[in-house]
Each structure stands twice: as C-alpha cells, then as structure tokens.
Amino acid sequence: MHTGVMSIHNPTVAFTTPPNYAARLSNLLTLSAYTPLWCPTLLIQPTPSTLTSFLSPHSLHLFSAIAFTSRTAIQAFLQAATPLSHPPLPPQGPTFTLAALGKDADLIDAHFLSAFCSNSDRLCVLVPPTATPSALAAALGDGCGRKVLCPVPRVVGVEEPPVVPGFLRELRCGGWVPVRVEAYETRWAGAGCAEGIVKASEEEGGLDAVVFTSTAEVEGLLKSLKEFGLGFADLRRRCPRLVVAAHGPVTAAGAQRLGVEVDVVSSRFGSFDGVIDVLNLKFGRFRV
C-alpha cells in the first residue's frame, strides 16, 4: 500500500544490474509502483573450474577463512563444491571463517555449510555491520599471517574497478595473506546493451531514473552509449528530471569518477531496500 504524494504515472526506473541480481531489484521496484526497465550492461558467468585446486582438504588446510565479496562468488563456490564426494573442509581442525556481505550471506545457509564441511561447529559465518569490502576486511581482524581465500571476478571488456584490489590491499594491511582466485567472469554485455535506455530517453516521460549497483555497470553503460553516439550528458538533456541512484557509496564514488553525477545514494546498502527508500524519498513516495 502506498500513501503520500504520488506522481501521475508510475516512474520508469532503468537498472543495469547483472542477471543474478535483477529479479530481486525488479520485484522491489514493482512492489513500490515503479515501472522497471532492465538493461543489463554486464553479464556474469561462474567459472567453478578455477576453484577446483582449492577444494581439496589438503589445500584448504592452508587457509583460515574465505572472504566472499559478492553473491556470485558464493554461488560459484557452492557450484564447485556440490559435486565432490566429500566436503572440502575436514570436520576436525581450528575454526574456519566464511565472511560475506549483507544479504549475500543468506546464501551461506544450511545447504552451503553441509556441502562445505560435515562439522558445522567448525565454521563461523561473519557478516560485518556495513556491507562494504572495507568493513569486511576490518571485521576479519588481525590475520596474524594467516591465509584467506578471496574468490573474485575476472573482468572482461571493462576496466576492473578499484574495489577488489583495494580490498586485497586492506587485507594485507590487516596481517592477512590474501590469495586471489578468479571464481567467475564479469563481462561487458556488448555494444547494444544501452538500447532500452536510449529508446526510453527518446520518449517524453519515458525515463525517470537509472539505478547503478556497481561501478563496472556504469562503465558498461557509457561504452554502449558511445556506440549510439551518445554520452550520459545526452541522457540528462533528453530527460531533465532524470534521477541517478547508486546502491551505496562505493558505487556512487565509482560513477562520479567516470563522470556520472549521482543524485541519491543508498545509505542502507546491505540489500536493495535501501536504494528503493532513496528513490521513494526523491519521488515523494512512501512505503508502509
């Protein structure tokens, strides 16, 4: 149910989120009476084979933790571990930490834990209060020279944002020895990925907002707009009331580094509810 000041139409909100996050965000937009326009600028493909060498008990014995900075990393790890005849982490040994961000941690459920280790008492699931890689590095505490496995993306077609290199650097500063493994591939969706946004911007009242959930999405959109002979400033001119929303300050900083001014930033970015809240505030909408 919606109360308060409402616009005449249901604002059209474009979002550039990859497929694995799209349904969640689209559903939240629909529930808040927005018209979702999904235009993914990135495609994500798990590559579980890259994790194989890390999934033997002998290999994991060298590690004290796994730090997941994305939902896809958790999914790729589970996909690699599920076919194994035995869970990769032996039941006996010191406490092993599985660290994840915000709602992503929901994927580290009973099914995941049982596929990872037959003794759940050996496992500690760590979720920092703030859903950022920096907060995750801080929450892991002093590494004391221990190893942490970091499943991260291989970025293809766009520049790798500074988030992952910065996270690995912070882990090293915290006394950890991070081991990077490219558990999935993040790839530019191609020259035509901005087509839906371009078409919507050509219609009066056709585009009211754009939501970005990562810096790489922004770069992907800019690359595609260039193929159409456009820049982001052209979208602003076509849609003078266009609201640009970022899912958290890391994404906002990345967008602005690429020359895209952000109007609203979610401060509650452990889930997509936060970005819906800032859109509602901007559009004078209220959820009850």
Please determine, for residue 258, whether its predicted confidence score (pLDDT) is greater than 60: yes
> What is the chain's mean pLDDT, rounded?
92
- Rounded mean pLDDT, 32-36: 95
Fold match, 2-41+190-287 / 45-187:
yes
The whole-number pLDDT of residue 89 equals: 94
For the stretch 119-142, pLDDT in tens is 999 999 999 999 999 999 999 999
Give domain 45-187's CATH number out of 3.40.50.720, 3.20.20.140, 3.40.50.10090, 3.40.640.10: 3.40.50.10090
The whole-number pLDDT of residue 267 equals: 85
**DSSP assignment string, the chain:** -EES---SS--EEEE---HHHHHHHHHHHHHTT-EEEE--SEEEEE-GGGGGGG-SHHHHTTEEEEE--SHHHHHHHHHHHTTSSS-SB-SSSS-EEEE--GGGGGGSSHHHHHHHBS-GGGEEEE--SS-SHHHHHHHH---TT-EEEEEEEEEESSPPPSHHHHHHHHHHHTT-EEEEEEEEEEEE--TTTTHHHHHHHTSTT---EEEESSHHHHHHHHHHHHHTT--HHHHHHHSTTPEEEESSHHHHHHHHHTT---SEE-S-TTSTHHHHHHHHHHTT-EE-
pLDDT band at 56 (very low <50, low <70, confident <90, very high): confident
Lowest mean pLDDT of 52-61, 137-146, 159-168, name the range: 52-61
The whole-number pLDDT of residue 113 equals: 96
Whole-model pTM: value is 0.84
The whole-number pLDDT of residue 247 equals: 94
The whole-number pLDDT of residue 46 equals: 83
Residues above pLDDT 90, as percent of the chain: 83
What are the extents of the domains in the chain?
2-41+190-287, 45-187
Query: Is it true that domain 2-41+190-287 has CATH number 3.40.50.10090?
Result: yes
Please determine, for residue 2, whether its predicted confidence score (pLDDT) is greater than 90: no
Please determine, for residue 156, whether its predicted confidence score (pLDDT) is greater than 60: yes
Please determine, for residue 195, whether its predicted confidence score (pLDDT) is greater than 90: yes
- Rounded mean pLDDT, 101-108: 94
